[in-house]
């Protein structure tokens, strides 16, 4: 909405409207106007006067106006330019699915449908029909032996091509993960194939080796997680046999010759060896290789892992992560938090120069248990102050080593009566991003009979927002609970409910989210019921086209 449009939307015109009126808002859908400018008035906004007066004031856009009391009275009062842009992901998991490949395998199948942005709710597909197609395809797979990666490719291709499902016109992409129980491959293994309707294909293969004995720092035990991101569209014949690769990794680690090397150096050497020295020529078929050493507490007395990424053109990225549990915050309410620190090192930095994680951990614990600022600070503000303190520490010298530092405070329920965490990411140049997440459990939703859902909410704040811009998550949680438990359209799909919920939150001028967020993400994780398997709907909405009209300035909310 530009200034000229705002000028047209004046109180004298609004007062021309008769009765209590709102734009067409039925079951959570706001219908677009037939003319310009593009204004949508939502249910719950009070006006009086004649409809034609309003049309004249905004360029004679022909709206259908309806009485407020015809629809749900609990919707918040709000007025925006148009609905937020929405992306919709639907994901579900089928467990213990049998396929006769290689004499019989058992796999969990996770299907993710990435819908076209702003798709109309009635265009979402029936997940039960998709699930039945998937189970039938795997059970009757006609090829007796072969790679699981090829099986997965065949499945995504058939799903997109099926004339009854009609997935291609509504999807940006379809992803399927096959998590195969150990048998022919004697360790955890999964393959993820992502396919677009236009035919683009990406394949990621991951596996995990557990309890590998590493002869460094006395003796250390580590789990090794490996991920191969294959070149898009690679021929099926180019997939690699993971069993000899796993054997190579195990031999490399159990016979490592320098007992004084850090885990970061060991991981870097392993990744380089896999790409450069291994006779399967991985560098010719991969976009990237990721190796994660997840080291059990020992010489390093807390959860620790080092993740190294190597690309086929020799680019290197290293992330080191550590987790401190049950840290008592020295603040007004004495919350207890688990603290996860992620160190994203400058690409290509020699791992021998990496910072001492024990010194970092000690700095973090000392700062939080002796917090020097206002004990009533929001947890988000405490987190910001912590990341700033770490970067400014002359003894740690992180500013010269890192691209960014990320700290997550995962706070046990207390004053905030539900799962809550705050993640602050700060770069060496001073840029700051804040993401606040929380989860509401076992919310009763009166659709499909009655459904129980967990609600995960993520607030991605505008980078560098002032501390005063952080919102009260308890108030947001109450709005969500009220919206869902009083939802009045019992035949709505979960996808539609979720879309309506995000619209409602962004449009509620008492929350003011559209002025402080880059995006809002809500996941409804629905317990099996009418849909007889684990299912979730994720909506991410951005307020790029949202303009709140201030209640105080215009007096219309």
Give the closest residue to 407 by CA, choosing from 339, 484, 316: 339
Bridge-based pairing of strands 316-328 and 402-411 is unpaired
Mean pLDDT of 101-115: 96
Quick one: tokens of 240? 């690699």
- Report yes or no on 22 lying in a domain: yes
Cβ atoms of 291 and 224 closer than 8 Å: yes
Q: What is the DSSP string of 154-187?
A: HHHHHHHH-TTT--TTTEEEEEEEEEEPSSSS-S
Cβ atoms of 165 and 159 closer than 8 Å: yes
- Report yes or no on 268 lying in a domain: no
- The pLDDT, as a whole number, for residue 49 is 31
- The pLDDT, as a whole number, for residue 544 is 61
- Give 22 or 318, the one with higher predicted confidence: 318
Q: What percent of the chain has pLDDT over 70?
A: 82
pTM of this prediction? 0.82
- The pLDDT, as a whole number, for residue 83 is 59
Question: Could you report the per-residue pLDDT of 408-449, keeping only the tens digit for each?
Answer: 999 999 889 999 999 999 999 999 999 999 999 999 999 988
- The pLDDT, as a whole number, for residue 415 is 86
Backbone angles phi, psi at 526, to 5 degrees: -95, 130
Mean pLDDT of 62-91: 52
Instruction: Indicate the residue among 19, 52, 75 that finishes a domain.
Output: 75
Quick one: tokens of 416? 């905030």
Instruction: Indicate the residue among 41, 75, 109 that finishes a domain.
Output: 75
Instruction: Count the domains in the chain.
Output: 2
64 lies in which domain range? 3-75
Instruction: Indicate the residue among 75, 108, 131 that finishes a domain.
Output: 75
- Report yes or no on 352 lying in a domain: yes
Taking 3-state DSSP, the helix, strand and coil percentages for the chain, each rounded to the nearest 5, stand at 30, 35, 40
Quick one: tokens of 92? 């579900």
- CATH code: domain of residue 415: 3.30.1130.10
Q: List all residues 6 or more positions away from 241 whose beta carbon is below 8 Å from its beta carbon.
A: 280
Reported as a pLDDT band with limits 50, 70 and 90, residue 281 is: confident
Mean pLDDT of 15-41: 32
- Report yes or no on 45 lying in a domain: yes
- Report yes or no on 341 lying in a domain: yes
Residue 435: strand pairing partners:
423, 460
Q: What angle do CA 18, 83, 487 make, to 5 degrees?
A: 80
Reported as a pLDDT band with limits 50, 70 and 90, residue 543 is: confident
Give the closest residue to 332 by CA, choosing from 410, 416, 389: 416
Q: What is the mean pLDDT of the chain?
A: 84
User: Over the range 370-384, which residues count as b (16 or more CB within 10 Å of their CB) and which as e?
Assistant: ebeeeeebbbbbbbb
Quick one: tokens of 26? 């039925």
d(CA 443, CA 423): 25
Quick one: tokens of 217? 């720092």
Mean pLDDT of 399-404: 96
Q: List all residues 6 or more positions away from 20 whose beta carbon is below 8 Å from its beta carbon.
A: 46, 47, 48, 67, 68, 69
Mean pLDDT of 358-382: 95
Quick one: tokens of 15? 């007062």
Stretch (H or E) spanning 266: helix 263-276
Q: List all residues 6 or more positions away from 376 whose beta carbon is below 8 Å from its beta carbon.
A: 331, 332
- Report yes or no on 407 lying in a domain: yes
Reported as a pLDDT band with limits 50, 70 and 90, residue 314 is: confident
d(CA 17, CA 33): 17
Q: Which residue's structure tokens are 């294959």?
A: 230
Question: Could you report the per-residue pLDDT of 190-248, keeping only the tens digit for each?
Answer: 999 999 999 999 999 999 999 999 999 878 999 999 999 999 999 999 999 999 999 99
- Report yes or no on 63 lying in a domain: yes
Q: What is the DSSP string of 386-432?
A: HHHHHHH-TTT-GGGTEEEEEEEEEEPSSSS-SEEEEEEEEETT--E
Give the closest residue to 385 by CA, choosing from 400, 404, 364, 399: 364
Query: Is pLDDT above 50 for 73?
Result: no
- The pLDDT, as a whole number, for residue 142 is 94
Mean pLDDT of 365-369: 96
How many residues would you count in the chain? 557
Backbone angles phi, psi at 330, to 5 degrees: -85, 70
Residue 179: strand pairing partners:
108, 190
- Report yes or no on 128 lying in a domain: no
Cβ atoms of 496 and 28 closer than 8 Å: yes
Give the closest residue to 361 by CA, choosing from 420, 321, 334: 321
CA 249 to chain centre: 31
Q: Which residue's structure tokens are 């317990």?
A: 527
- The pLDDT, as a whole number, for residue 36 is 31
Cβ atoms of 17 and 57 closer than 8 Å: no
Give the closest residue to 225 by CA, choosing from 203, 242, 202: 242
């Amino acid at each position: 909405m530009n200034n000229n449009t705002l000028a047209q939307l004046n109180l004298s015109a609004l007062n021309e409207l008769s009765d209590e009126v709102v734009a067409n808002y039925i079951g959570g859908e706001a219908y677009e106007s037939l003319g310009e400018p593009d204004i949508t008035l939502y249910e719950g906004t009070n006006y009086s006067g004649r409809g034609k007066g309003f049309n004249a004031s905004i360029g004679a856009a022909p709206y259908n106006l309806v009485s407020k009391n015809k629809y749900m009275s609990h919707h918040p009062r709000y007025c925006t330019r148009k609905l937020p842009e929405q992306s919709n992901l639907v994901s579900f998991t089928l467990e213990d699915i049998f396929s006769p490949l290689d004499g019989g395998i058992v796999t969990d199948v996770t299907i993710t449908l990435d819908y076209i942005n702003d798709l109309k709710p009635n265009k979402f597909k029936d997940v039960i029909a998709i699930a039945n197609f998937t189970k039938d395809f795997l059970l009757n797979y006609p090829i007796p032996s072969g790679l699981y990666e090829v099986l997965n490719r065949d499945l995504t291709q058939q799903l997109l091509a099926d004339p009854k499902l009609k997935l291609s016109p509504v999807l940006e992409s379809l992803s399927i993960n096959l998590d195969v129980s150990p048998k022919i491959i004697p360790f955890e293994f999964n393959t993820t194939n992502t396919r677009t309707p236009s035919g683009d294909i990406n394949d990621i293969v991951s596996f995990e080796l557990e309890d590998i004995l590493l002869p460094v720092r006395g003796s250390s035990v580590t789990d090794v997680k490996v991920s191969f991101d294959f070149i898009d569209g690679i021929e099926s014949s180019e997939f690699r046999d993971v069993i000899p690769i796993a054997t190579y990794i195990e031999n490399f680690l159990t016979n490592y010759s320098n007992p004084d090397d850090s885990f970061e150096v060991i991981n870097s050497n392993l990744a380089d060896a896999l790409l450069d020295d291994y006779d399967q020529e991985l560098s010719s078929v991969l976009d990237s290789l990721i190796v994660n050493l997840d080291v059990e507490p020992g010489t390093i007395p807390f959860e620790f892992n080092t993740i190294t990424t190597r690309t086929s053109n020799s680019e290197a990225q290293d992330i080191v992560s550590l987790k401190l549990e049950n840290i008592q915050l020295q603040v007004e309410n004495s919350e207890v938090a688990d603290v996860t620190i992620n160190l994203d090192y400058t690409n290509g930095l020699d791992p021998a120069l990496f910072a001492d994680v024990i010194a970092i951990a000690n700095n973090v614990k000392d700062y939080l248990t002796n917090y020097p600022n206002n004990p009533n600070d929001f947890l988000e503000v405490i987190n910001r102050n912590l990341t700033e303190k770490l970067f400014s520490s002359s003894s740690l010298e992180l500013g010269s080593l890192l691209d960014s530092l990320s700290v997550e405070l995962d706070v046990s329920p207390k004053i905030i009566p539900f799962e809550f965490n705050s993640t602050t990411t700060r770069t060496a140049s001073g840029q700051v991003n804040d993401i606040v997440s929380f989860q509401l459990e076992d919310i009763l939703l009166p659709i499909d009979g009655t459904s129980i859902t967990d609600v995960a909410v993520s607030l991605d704040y505008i980078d560098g927002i002032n501390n005063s811009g952080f919102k009260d998550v308890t108030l947001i949680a109450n709005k969500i609970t009220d919206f869902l438990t009083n939802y009045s359209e019992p035949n709505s799909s979960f996808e539609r409910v979720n879309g309506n919920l995000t619209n409602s939150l962004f449009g509620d001028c008492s929350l003011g989210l559209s002025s402080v967020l880059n995006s809002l993400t809500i996941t409804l994780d629905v317990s099996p019921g009418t849909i007889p398997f684990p299912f979730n709907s994720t909506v991410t909405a951005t307020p790029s086209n949202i303009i709140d009209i201030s209640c105080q300035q215009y007096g219309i909310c």
